[in-house]
Amino acid sequence: MYFSLSLPPQLIIQEHNQGVEYEYYLPNGRSREGYYWSFGSWSTCSRECGSGYQSRLVFCAIDNEAYPDYLCTALPRPLTNRTCNPQTCPQTRRWTTGEWNACSVSCGGGSQVRSVQCVSHDASGPRVVEDGACAAYTPAPPTLQTCSMQLCASWRASAWSLVGTEAEQQSDGG
């Protein structure tokens, strides 16, 4: 047996009634015969790993028709939410490299530098981590390299020589 208790809104909210009526039911601890909890399938998990959530519709029913939940309160209510995919997300760590800076010289052997960072990609997105996290998998790419190894052009001074007709006359003995 259930008891119904109607309270005027003034007792609940201490304001003038705006035309809304509330009705409360107090179960007596027994469910009515034939009523049961019906529930749908679990939703897709909100995350593929790292503890997501699932939900489903749960309602009191008789003959597959929904009724107010208070009619089923004597029965244990099935869960409407649960955690899912609790396994730790695989962390893929890899080195990322920046562009090489300009060479320190234009010829004769110089050097270039670039940034190298260890980046972890997991469920929360990419983030820079300590180099040791990547070094455990593969050695770090170089941050320094040589460049502009070609020889530099240079001028070399030598003894003056004769040019043109004067040189020809001297070679003729004249």
Helical ranges in 20-112 per DSSP H: none
pLDDT band for position 165 (cuts 50, 70, 90): low
Cα(first)–Cα(last) distance of the chain, in Å?
A: 145
Which residues share a beta bridge with 92?
Answer: 121
Running DSSP on this structure, what letter comes out for residue 139?
Answer: P
pTM of this structure = 0.40
Q: Where are the domains of the chain?
A: 3-84, 92-147
What does the alpha-carbon distance between residue 130 and residue 116 come to, in Å, rounded to a whole number? 11
What does the alpha-carbon distance between residue 159 and residue 55 come to, in Å, rounded to a whole number? 95
Average of per-residue pLDDT values in the chain: 82
Q: What pLDDT shows up at residue 144?
A: 96
pLDDT band for position 88 (cuts 50, 70, 90): confident
110-133 confidence digits (pLDDT tens): 999 999 999 988 777 889 999 988
